[in-house]
Amino acid sequence: MGRASRRWDGSPGMPGIGGEDRRELMAVFDRHGVLEGGPVLTHAMKGYPCRLSLSSREESPMSYVDAFVLPVPLERLDDYLRLARHAGEIWKEYGALEYVECVADDVKPGERTSFPRSVELEPGETVVFAWVRYATREDRNRILELVMNDPRLADMLDHAKLPFDAKRLFWGGFMERIRL
């Protein structure tokens, strides 16, 4: 298969994307086979989003994902999963594409980093990893505002009523880059 032609969409002269940065980024993509007939890839370099695409492919937008990691006491796991199911149904009602909750199965504490260390896991607790997928970051912002103001989830905002220690929960928003 021949090399696919490359083009950059976005404003010309976007800071951080030209010259050596662009050559370095293209070399990384080439090493990973991203440009050999692969899917459209969206990326951000130095905080300046732009789109790298293959002219032979129709462009399709990449999703936005909120990921969550938290400790849950084993004795409260059923309560947590009931709450998560309820919350997930509301997230989906407002437009989230996907809502997933995962309970640790093969997660060992590491010497420096690990899921258990990241949440300061205590005896009798397990780690939960969850994510919510949205069409775009703008959809995420709109949906998150609706979810946080939904009266059906008012108890989620009262940390004393939650079946986990909210102080050890961490989360963040991620732009999807590769989907196979």
Give pLDDT tens digits for 36-77: 333 333 333 334 343 443 333 344 578 999 999 999 999 999
Q: What is the pTM of this model?
A: 0.66
116/138 same-domain check: yes
Q: Compute CA distances 58 → 44, 55, 133, 142, 150, whole Å.
A: 20, 7, 22, 27, 37
Q: What is the pLDDT of residues 139-154, one digit of tens each?
A: 999 999 999 999 999 8
50/105 same-domain check: no
Total count of residues recorded for the chain? 180
86/167 same-domain check: yes
91/143 same-domain check: yes
* Dist CA 43 CA 177 (whole Å): 6
Which pLDDT does position 50 carry in this prediction?
A: 39
Rg (CA), the chain: 20
Question: For 84-90, what is the mean pLDDT?
Answer: 97
Mean pLDDT of all residues belonging to the chain: 78
Which pLDDT does position 31 carry in this prediction?
A: 54
104/49 same-domain check: no
Q: Compute CA distances 134 → 16, 48, 100, 173, whole Å.
A: 27, 21, 12, 10
* Dist CA 180 CA 11 (whole Å): 28
State the burial class of residue 154 (Cβ atoms within 10 Å of its Cβ: 0-12, 13-18, 19+): exposed
pLDDT: is 9 or 84 the higher one? 84
Which pLDDT does position 156 carry in this prediction?
A: 80
* Dist CA 92 CA 86 (whole Å): 10
Q: What is the pLDDT of residues 122-132, one digit of tens each?
A: 999 999 999 99
74/135 same-domain check: yes
Q: b/e string for 162-178 if b means 16 or more Cβ within 10 A?
A: bbbbeeebeeeeeeeee
40/104 same-domain check: no
39/86 same-domain check: no
Into how many domains does the chain fold? 2
Q: What is the CATH number of the domain that holds 149?
A: 3.30.70.100
Q: b/e string for 20-31 if b means 16 or more Cβ within 10 A?
A: eebeeeeeebee
Residue 59 lies in a domain: no
141/98 same-domain check: yes
31/102 same-domain check: no
